[in-house]
């Protein structure tokens, strides 16, 4: 009985809040944000809308700036598939549809993970992703519920 209860509890915890997903090499991948962002977690559907460039501000009214790596980079691919649960080609199509129909803008694409971390840390409203081991105190990690 106790075992079942513990198991259920663990299962529901692991389902409700995911702070990290694994990249291909087994290292942990997290959603990072500028420390000025006044929340510590975000829902999956909101995160998908932000990275698909459909939502430009948080519920607090804080404007967001999305930073990504190139489509073919392992980190972007792992983030798309494991965290957002969409394929990079779907994200690419969503951006092109937003940009060329006047409904949104393209995300800011940077050349490396270091540049991405730096951009998120120095841009108010910055949001992106990184390996957990590379997260510094200049960033905050957003849990995905």
Partner 1 sequence: MTSQLRIVATAVALTCAAAGASYADLARAQSDEGRDTLQVHGFMSQALVVTDHNAFFGPSDEGLGSLEYTELGLNVSRRLGDRFLVAGQVLSRVAGDYGDAWKPTLDYGVVDYQALTRDDLVLGLQVGRFKNPFGFYNQTRDVPTTRPSVLLPQSIYYDRSRSLGLASDGVSLYGERRLSNGTLYWQGGIGVPQINEDAEISLSASRPDLEAKLSTIGQLLYAHDGGRINVALSMARVRADYRSRLTPSARGDFLFQPVIASFEYNAEHWSLTSEYEFQTRKLSGFEYSRANRSTDGESLYVQYQYRITPRWQWLLRYDYTVSERDDRDGRRFAATGLGPSHTRFARDLTTGVQWRITPRWSAQAEWHYIDGTAWLPRQDNPDDEETDRYWNLVLFQTAYSF
Q: In angstroms, what is the minimal distance from the CB of 112 to partner 1?
A: 12
Phi and psi at residue 127, to the nearest 5°: -145, 145
Contact 105, 99 (CB under 8 A): yes
CA distance 68 to 127: 9
Query: How many amino acids of this chain bind partner 1 (CB under 8 A)?
Result: 48
Distance between start and end Cα atoms, the chain: 28
Chain positions 85 to 104 lying near partner 1, rule: CB under 8 A, are 85-90, 93-94, 96-97, 99-104
Please report which residue ranges of the chain form alpha helices under DSSP H: 2-16, 44-51, 74-78, 88-99, 113-122
Chain positions 2 to 41 lying near partner 1, rule: CB under 8 A, are none
Closest to partner 1 by CB, 26 or 102: 102
123 binds partner 1 (CB under 8 A): yes
Residues engaged in binding partner 1 (CB under 8 A) = 42-46, 48-49, 54-59, 61-63, 65, 70-72, 84-90, 93-94, 96-97, 99-106, 108-110, 115, 119, 122-125
């Amino acid at each position: 009985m106790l075992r079942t209860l513990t198991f259920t509890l663990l299962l529901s915890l692991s389902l409700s809040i995911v702070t990290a997903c694994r990249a291909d090499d087994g290292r942990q991948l997290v959603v990072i944000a500028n420390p000025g962002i006044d929340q510590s977690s975000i829902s999956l559907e909101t995160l998908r809308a932000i990275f698909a460039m459909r939502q430009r501000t948080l519920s607090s009214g804080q404007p967001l700036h999305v930073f990504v790596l190139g489509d073919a980079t392992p980190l972007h691919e792992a983030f798309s598939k494991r965290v957002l649960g969409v394929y990079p080609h779907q994200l690419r199509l969503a951006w092109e549809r937003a940009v060329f129909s006047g409904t949104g803008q393209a995300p800011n694409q940077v050349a490396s993970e270091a540049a991405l971390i730096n951009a998120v840390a120095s841009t108010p409203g910055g949001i992106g992703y990184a390996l957990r081991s590379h997260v510094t105190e200049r960033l905050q990690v957003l849990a995905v519920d």
